[in-house]
Each structure stands twice: as structure tokens, then as C-alpha cells.
Structure 1
């Protein structure tokens, strides 16, 4: 919510409840919106003992313990509290079908000792967040989780014990899942419509032409609203794509994810590592994908690629992530065949899947979770792999809430949104401990492995971020 929106609701001051240096303004009312944590409740207790305002309206994002309510009542000696309510909003709603708990490195550590053991504080926070999601949707779920995930089973137990904004920006809502080329075409359509209405003959063939047009027609900026903002954003995206060779990078990423083409992939990868305009993070990311895809290949060249990274002066800590990732998510650690390359039948299925329904070369990869959800929608998701925590049903679900331990991605959100559209009558809400990009995931992986002192625990379950699905409730 913006400052302007708050002012429209006659909200004039915003501050932290633990700031005790605030000026007393007894002519004003105070609205407190808090997570019901120990620190927040304690700060509110101190505030009520010495109130700065005339009336207090208390709203908590999750369930408040009875003992905390009693503490607040005892502190309200001045009888300034007018209302106390629980509004279940203990999560970040990114859009209408995607949410995050913002539980991510460096503020949170999911694991202790190894990938089989929850950090107690993280487990408590994640359970509280999921319960808030369920309560806000007024759903009492049948919980299913991936059988081989100890973390998912533990989280299921915790839950069962207690059981750009698309709304404000219509253009973003319509375009947020488009690739860069389609997005540019959509924006150009708006510009073309304006030209027709105002009989403009200016030739527009590129993003640069669109930016120039917007600058020269201030009335278009006023008419089109958010579209001009998106023209600027697409212009910057286009500049970055060109500057860092992201078209070539993206094509190789897709090839590494969905095809088995070792010689060509290796040649392209070596060429990109040698390019000075490709960032070090991108080079390491490509080597990580290669190392995971071809780990068991007899021609595996990961060692040579690590040497090539060093010769191109990539930071040693970044290079070390290659071995850390294999330790964390190598072929021996993964629960399922995410690359569809463990046997000849899987490779054949993967080849045909790659030819079917692909929008372009940059959208070949489909997250494995999509297949899991499709099986769930059809009522064919096997209990051997995804058992119910309590109870069971043969009915096909109409409301599905997915939670990913280890983090979700916008790419997964895009594909799941398409699933919702293609399955009328089924509503899917998707989220996770955080929303990852490559940088945040690599940083979290490096931190986790380094805290385990580089020791691999062969008895631990498979890594959570590289699973097909971590838990679905």
C-alpha cells in the first residue's frame, strides 16, 4: 500500500511500535498491525502502559495466544484499547494465486546439521505462515506430502496439530507471464491503437521507437497510464538482454534442462565462459546446470570447466559452489529423475515432451511440479509417493494449496497459473518459504553446505529445492 493510499484513508503517521521516542499526540487514534511475536507483544505492552494516543485498535496477522491477550489486558490500565482482532495475513500475497512467507537466507536458516533437520525457529515460522494462509482462505485441508521428505512430513505434523501488483496494474495483470518478445508486441499494440485514434504516421518498429514516441506525445502518457511505465521497463530489459548475451545464455539453460546434447552444450558453455560481457554469476550458474545434468556422463567435463572459470578470474567462492551443489543436489541426492535422463525410456519420453506444446526455444522447460499437480487434479497422484498425513479421499480436488519447502520460483508460478486456466473448476494457490531467483538460491545453498562443514550425510533425505515437489497441502 502506498503513502498516498494511506493518506486517502486519513492515516497520517507511520511508525514502529518499539520506537519509544515518539511524541505524545493524545488527539490521535492509533491502529496497530502486528505479527503476534514475543517482541511485538512486549513492545505493545510497553506502549499501552504509557500510551501516546487516545485510542488503540489492535490487529494481529495470526492467532494470538491466550496468555498474550491477558498480558495486553493487564497493561491496558488506561483503557485505551478499543478493538482487538486477528486478521490472517501472516504471509506475502504476491498476486491472486501466488504467496511467499519470506523465510529466506540470510535472515532465516531452514536446516541445522543436515538437510533432514528443521531449524526449530524456521519450522515454527513456516507452520504459522501456512496456517495463516489456510485460515484466510477458510480451508481445512487434507494434507499430502512427498513421502521421501522428512522436512515435509515434519511440517505436515506441525500444521495438523493446529488445524508490481496485478490488482492495481491491469496491464501487468494481463502481461506478467509473457516472455520479452510477446511483451514488446503487446505494448506495441497499445501504441498502435493510440496512433490510429490520433492519426499519427510515425513509424514504430522497435522498443527504442516506442520510447521515443512516448517522450514526444505527453498526452499518450496521460492516456495510457501504466503502459508508459512498462515501455520504460521493457526498454531496460532489452538493454540488459543485449548487454549480457542473455538470449544465448537462456537458450543454453533450456538445452541443459530438457535435452541430452553433451558435445554442443559443452562447446556453447565454454564459449560463454570466455565472454567478458557474461557475468560471473551467470557463468557459474551455467556450469552448475551442466554439472547436474551431465554428472554421470562418461564425458563429464566439470573439472575442466572449473579450471576455465578460474582462468577467467571468477571468484573462488563462486567456483566452490559447483562442488557444493553436487554435494547438496547431485544425482545421488535427488529423489526423482528431474532431467528425465536416467534410462532410455525416460530420455525418449523427454524428447517427445520437448516437441509438444513448446511456445519457443526459451520456454521448453516445464517444472516437474506441474506433472505432480496434473496427476493430483486427475485423482491419480499415488499415495506411495505422496501419502495423506491424516485421512484420505478418492475425490478429485477442487481447491489445491501448494507449499514448497526451500522456496518457489516465478517460473513455477507461471506454469501453475496456466494449469488453473486449463482446468476450469479447479483453484490452485501456490507458494513457498520464499520466492527464489538463481542468486538467492545459490547463496542459500552455499550457506547451508558451509554450515554442515562440507560433510555429506548419506542418510539424509533428498535436497528440498531440487525436488519435483516438496509438499502439497
Structure 2
């Protein structure tokens, strides 16, 4: 199975760093080692590289220092320099300043562009003062963040504003933003070697504009690399464009898998979780897939995490010939503090125990809220009965000023509005008033209409027209996790060749039938399966305006259920419920 992190890391290491290594045997003892090079990055390159490479790995490849392109730098005329940058005005101007400098900045210049560089910029580089020192000038087509093995991000949270706010519909500015995002998304396809057929949700007008823009960008990459997308398997690959309005339930409902809960309920920032060490100092832990134990637990339901973490701890104790009958989280936390000799090995386990305990504590406070959310999201109660009086369920939530936060109440109000497909203006005002929602937060609810949802009855918005799959035969394992993100239906419809062609038209040519049929669900158990075959055709999902952790989990589940296709999912950014509400407020 393709790993975006692995592919992109190999690209940086092999094509950029090893590809520019010097074999100069005429070493001057007075100079720095000529095999060492300086790595110079602009803002986008820094974001991209830190997502897939670490400093130790970069140093191993002969990089003596990493510098910021935008800052004043000391010349190293005895060293070669490797530049990685976007071909944008600010970065190009800094590069040109180095190439036209009166003093020799570096012995040689190896220049790599993250995207296709305009021809006029190439022409300018041919006229610089130190043009003879340019040894490499190449486009590496890599302008996205490989967040996980099957997840990519375009690092463009601001897309919500220009894509959904009608007041920012300046054609020139909007087109520039669409071109920028299309360029980055095209580099995802280029990195994977894919030239997919493009499909888009027809319910939002800008989707077709973006699809056409992306098509033109892919054609540019195809022109420069004719092998892109070649082969019988790759001919079946699809890229599906979704606007965030296709599913507004998943971004607000409480998801009870480990990673989603941590980011929703705990103070985690930039994937860093802070814990208190034995001496009372705080310790920052990076939640990263390089840790296999975290990778195996992150998409696991919290009920299973509470069982597995103690089991992992007991396995560790047995490996050290330490016997204990402790099974609950609190006892384990105390035991870890009494074993300082194993602190390094126990760091991640300690983190997981802390996070599991914190998640469980937070969950106990919102358990009733989760039940109400699931009923509203699925439109039925835990027994499968149609909801008769949802207002009687949400009233205890919105009138509770001790347990539930303003954001909690906004989430349940949004779910109620989506359940009703819009409410009367007077009813909305009463809901917000009774919940004591501050006036500056009202726009969070009303701006849902900009995503195509009916907030007020009779607004005439299309809402979500994607038919839901019948999953009655799959059963429900957890009553508070009955909601299944709409995106999972979209993925499976695409695999089955049953994705409605009116709701999801092709930008160009129609694909042949896949011949695939989705098997029985393996929900919450997919992460225990072995690796999957490589070189399968891809279903590349792109969500404009943020993707949720539950939707990312769904992609992994679909991959685990079949071997015919590989799903790659991405977006402008990852959204937690609070981040989604904040994005709505800013529209």
C-alpha cells in the first residue's frame, strides 16, 4: 500500500539530497568539507519537509545547516547550497538576490521548485550574475503535506473564506486561489504518478470551476511527464472533489475514536500532547505515526483503548519479569512513576495512559450529549425507532450551564437544525437565547446556509443529496457511535461504480466499470489487518474546507475491506469540531 510519507521522504532524500551530493576529491584542508551542503527553504518548503523528514535524517545526507530563505544569511563560498522553494514572487526575489549578489554566497546552487515554474522565471534565472554556478534547476512537484500514510493536506485553511463567502466572490482573486490549490493538488497526483479522471459534487457551483482548473493543471504535468498515469491500473484512478457542505454532521458530532477524541476534548496543538512529568515539569509528546503503538490505537474506539492500554502495559511488565495484578488506568499511572529506570521506554505508554484517562474523564461529562447527538445525526434512537420529539432531548443540554460549554450547545443546535432541514426564524432565536449563546457566535449557525444547508425553513438550499447506504446488516457495535460519515458512502459508491453520475459528473471521459463490490464492514477492526497489495488504482478524495478525523478513519476502513483500490484522502486542512465552528464564524 502506498505511503505518502514514505514516497515523499524518498523523493526528498533520493532526488534532492543524494542527487546533489558532491564527489569532489580535491578537498582543501582550509575549507569546510565540500561534501557538506547548506539547505535553504522558503515557508512552504519548510512545512513540507518537516512533515516527512527529521533533522537527523537530513544531516546524514550531508546537510550541515538548514536556513530560512527569507532571512539574511552568512555567505559560505566553499559550500554548495540546495534551495527548495515555491516559484512565487517573494521566494523568487530572495533567490535572485543571492544569484545576483556582489559576493559569492555559495560555491554552487542546486535549485528545486515545489511546483511548475513559469517560463518567464526560468528565463530570468538564465540572466543572473552567478548563472554559471547553477548546477541544478528542477521541478520536483511536491507542494503538499503528507500528514499520514494515506492523508495529504494542502495547508490552506483560508480556503473556507474565498470558497464559501459570497462577499469574497471577486473573480480575479477567487481564480488565483483556485489555481493555487489546483497546483498543490496536482502535485499530489504527480507524486503518486496518477493522472486520474476528475469527478465533482454537482450541488455546489464552484466545484465545477475547480474541477476545470485542476484538469488544466494536470494536463500541464502530463505534458512534462508522459508516463504520468500510464498503465492499465492507473487508468481506473479517480479524483473526487467534495465541498464541505456535502456533510455538515460529521464535523460537529462527537467522534469516540482515540485520535479524534484527543483532538476534540484535550489540549493538543500541532499534534503535541503535554503531560506532567514526575518532577512536576511539563513534557511535550509528539503524536506521530513513527510510534507503532500510537499508530495502532489512534483509530480505535475509546472503549477498546481502555482495554488495550492496560494490556500493553502488562506485556511490558512481563517482558521485564515484573508481575502486577493492577488493571485500571489510575493504578498503572502510579506504577509508572515508581519505575524511573524504564522512563524512556515507558514514555509513549505513559502518554497513552494519560490520554486514555483524560479522554475517559471528559467522555463521562458528555455521555448524555453524545447520545442526543447520535439520535439527531442518525434520525433514530439506539433502538432504531424514529425520533418523535427531538426538542425534549436537546432542552436539557442547552439549558445546562454547569456541564456543557457554548460550543457543545452550538453543536447540538446545528444537529437539530440539520435534522429538521431548517427551522423557523423565531425558533432559531429562541434556541440561541435559551442556550445563552453570545450574539457574536450566532453567525456560526446562520453561516451554515453558505455551505448549502437550510438553516431557516424554506431557504431552498439543496442540502445533502447523497443517498445513504443501507447498513442494517452490518450491525451496531457501539450505541454512541452509530453515525457513519457520508464520505464512507461516497468512497464505497465509487468503488462499486455506483456513484450517481448526476450528483458526481465526470469532468472529462467516463471510466470503465470497476467491477468491485464492497464486503461486510470491518469497522473498528481494520487496523489489525496485514499490509495490502501495492500499485492499485487510486480513489483520491479531496474535501474543500477541511476533513474530519472520522472521515480519515473511514478511508482507512475502506482500504482494509478490499484489495482492488486504494483510497487516498485529503483536504485543505484537518478540522476538529471547534475549528470547524471557528471557520464558520469567520465566513
Superposed pair shares fold, TM > 0.5: yes
- In structure 1, the residue matched to 2:564 is 425
State the secondary structure of the residue aligned to 2:435. helix
In the superposition, relative to structure 1, how do residues 58 and 237 fare at CA in structure 2: closer, same or farther (>3 Å)? farther
Decide whether the 8 Å contact of 2:145 with 2:152 is kept in 1: yes
Give me the whole-angstrom Cα distance separating, in 2, the residues matched to 1:408 and 1:425.
24
Q: Matched residues in 2 for 1:285 and 1:117: separation?
A: 31
- Is the contact between residue 108 and residue 122 of structure 1 (CA under 8 Å) also seen in structure 2? no
Gapped regions of structure 1 (runs ≥ 5): 341-345, 449-473
CA deviation after TM superposition for structure 1 residue 213, in Å: 2.3
2:135 to 82, 88, 110: 82
TM-score of the two chains, using structure 1 as the length reference: 0.82
Structure 2: which 5+ residue stretches go unaligned?
1-52, 220-270, 272-286, 381-385, 455-459, 517-536
TM-score, normalised with respect to structure 2:
0.67
| Residue pair 2:539, 2:568 contacting (<8 A) in 1 also | yes
Deviations 1:297-339, CA, capped at 9 Å, x for gaps: 79x95443211122xxx3221134223325644333234346x
Distance 1:58 1:359, change over 3 A: farther
How many residues align? The count is: 432
CA contact (8 A) 1:375 1:381 kept: yes
Partner of residue 291, structure 2: 169
Separation in 2, partners of 1:392, 1:125: 27
Native 8 Å contact 1:410 1:435 kept in 2? yes
Structure 2 distance, partners of 1:115, 1:362, is: 39
Partner of 1:334: 462
Structure 2 residue corresponding to 1:54, chosen from 78, 102, 107: 107
TM-superposed CA distance for 1:193, in Å, is: 0.9
Equivalent runs, 1:4-403 vs 2, <5 Å: 4-19=56-71, 21-50=72-101, 51-77=104-130, 79-105=132-158, 109-111=162-164, 113=166, 119-162=174-217, 163=219, 167-224=289-346, 226-242=348-364, 245-260=365-380, 265-273=390-398, 274-295=400-421, 301-310=427-436, 314-326=437-449, 328-331=451-454, 332-337=460-465, 353=471, 356-396=474-514, 398-403=537-542
Q: Match of 1:94, SS?
A: strand
Task: Tell me the alpha carbon deviations over residues 382-440 of structure 1, each in whole angstroms, 9 at most, x when there is no partner.
Answer: 32222211111223183211111222211111012101110112111111222222222
Alpha-carbon distance change, 63 to 297 in structure 1, aligned in 2, over 3 angstroms: closer
- Note closer, same or farther for the CA distance 1:157–1:262 as it changes in structure 2 (3 Å cut): same
Q: CA deviation at 1:130?
A: 1.2
How far apart are residue 377 of structure 1 and its match? 0.8
| CA RMSD in angstroms, aligned pairs only | 3.0
> Does the C-alpha gap of structure 1 residues 83 and 426 become closer, same or farther in structure 2, counting only changes over 3 Å?
same
Q: Deviations over 1:241-264 (max 9, x none)?
A: 45xx23333332222211246566
Query: Is the alpha carbon distance of 1:178 and 1:120 closer, same or farther for their aligned partners in structure 2, counting shifts above 3 Å?
Result: same
Change (3 A) 1:208 1:87: farther
- Displacement of 1:85 after TM fit? 2.3
Distance, in Å, in 2 between the alignment partners of 1:326 and 1:160 is: 29
Q: Distance in 1 between matches of 2:108 and 2:402?
A: 61
| 1:86–1:106 distance in 2 versus 1, CA, 3 Å | closer
Q: CA separation in 2, counterparts of 1:8 and 1:136?
A: 24
Q: Identify if the C-alpha distance between structure 1 residues 98 and 275 changes in structure 2 by more than 3 Å, giving closer, same or farther.
A: same
**Structure 1 residue 239 displacement after superposition:** 4.3
- 2:483 partner SS: coil
Q: Is the 8 A contact 1:399 1:427 kept in 2?
A: yes
